[in-house]
Structure 1
Amino acid sequence: MRRFARLATILGISATVVAATIGTADARPARFAVAAVHSAGTGATAGSLTGTMSWSTSLKSVTLSNVKLFVKGGECVNFQLDGRQGSVIVAGIKRYPPNGGSYCPSADYTWSFGTIGLTADSPGGIEYVDFDITDYWHGVHGWAVCDRDAAACSGANH
């Protein structure tokens, strides 16, 4: 009977280690959010970008879905994103609006961009996705970095 108890304990510990390892390996960010906020991040939001993200098993591509840009009425906002390996851009720089300028609604407005894809053009895939959003008129800037080995993105507003 003691052998079975010892075996059950060993199997239980092994299953816990495997589950913990699997959770760590799959800790890719599933959502992103970035905002340009006045007064060093304590004031009114000029604009925000949100959506979900999925990383391919090869890590060569990242698909951003349900991408939405909110802009406060009277503000002018633009954003860009890219995929990186270390400090080298390997996927994109995608700018919105694509031809320059900014989104400048007279009243609060949300644009839907649907799905945006990033695909690496070099071996090793995408390690990070960088997001930048700027309130053009006021020089307010927000950024987020989504590391494929992290559970969530990090960022700041200023």
Structure 2
Amino acid sequence: MAEKKATRVRVEAKAEREAAADRSAGIREIAEAQAAPVTIRAEATKKRATAQGQTTLIAAENAPSPEIIELKLLIARLEALPAIIATMVKPAEKIESIRINQITGLGTVLPALSPAPRGGLVYQAVGAIGAMALHHPVLKAIGESAG
């Protein structure tokens, strides 16, 4: 009789363990089923936020402020300045000599292009070169007529 009782206790314990395991598996499945939509929404929110961040970053890169645009233009001008000056000075390479003859009363040929004291050194140099280039034909004609 004791053996039958012990067997029954073992069978009941085994059945109880299996039932507990089944209940545990059921609870786990319910929890996973409830967590799945939350996980999917969280991943979708993460992807949406990442896409929105990239969109904002691209928009910021494509829409520079007026100060940045002005800075880029200034840098481009400074980088182009040596080539511009070299091109402007190129005709001066053909000058063999310079003679200064003081001739008064003629005035300026083009007063708007004559060098003015305004602006920086580069502006004054460019203005002087431009003025010389425009004055050169007139002075040449005067020199030829003077002999």
Q: Which of structures 1 and 2 has the larger relative contact order (alpha carbons within 8 angstroms, sep 6+)? A: 1
TM over 0.5: no
Larger radius of gyration: 2
- TM-score norm. by structure 1 comes to 0.28
Higher share in helix: 2
Higher share in strand: 1
- TM-score norm. by structure 2 comes to 0.29
